């Protein structure tokens, strides 16, 4: 698929992120997050946050979605959708930004909430000067 993503596919990804957010396991923070990645073939891969009493072992929704895409055999991610409850919607945390930095730095990230307060970002703007494969 080209880097121009059809609006219908974006809406499908938002709906998928909203649905998977309902499965988040967040007994400590009560902060439920759903993420959906669109790959270059138009596939959608989802993830939700899974907390742990040992906070360092918590897995964020975006990283869970990257693991799902990788497990499905596609790491060519062209867009990321993140759904939170907050207004304005929260952007990916630093760890997730670093994991997403393995994607195209011009990748678009849509942060939204159930009320659809959409905010668009470019990955490179969220993590300028990222450490990556060309850094060493």
Q: Tell me, what's the pLDDT at 34?
A: 98
Q: Tell me, what's the pLDDT at 2?
A: 45
Tell me the domain boundaries of the chain. Answer: 7-129
Which of 62, 85, 102, 117 is catalytic? The answer is 62
Mean pLDDT, the chain cut into blocks of 10 residues (136 residues total) = 83 98 98 98 97 95 98 96 98 97 93 98 95 84
- 62 flagged as catalytic: yes
- Judged by phi (left if over 0) then psi (alpha if -120 to 50, else beta), residue 129 lies in left
Asked if the 7-129 domain carries CATH number 3.40.140.10, the reply is yes
Q: Tell me, what's the pLDDT at 113?
A: 98
């Amino acid at each position: 698929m080209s880097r121009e993503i059809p609006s219908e596919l974006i809406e499908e990804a938002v709906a998928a992120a909203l649905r998977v957010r309902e499965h988040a396991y967040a007994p400590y923070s009560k902060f439920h997050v759903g993420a959906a990645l669109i790959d270059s073939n138009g596939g959608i891969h989802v993830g939700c946050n899974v907390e742990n009493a040992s906070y360092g072992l918590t897995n964020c929704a975006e990283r869970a979605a990257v693991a799902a895409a990788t497990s499905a055999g596609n790491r060519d991610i062209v867009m990321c959708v993140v759904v939170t409850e907050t207004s304005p919607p929260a952007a990916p945390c630093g760890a997730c930004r670093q994991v997403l930095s393995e994607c195209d730095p011009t990748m678009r990230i849509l942060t939204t909430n159930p009320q659809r307060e959409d905010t668009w970002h470019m990955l490179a703007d969220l993590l300028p000067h990222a450490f990556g494969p060309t850094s060493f």
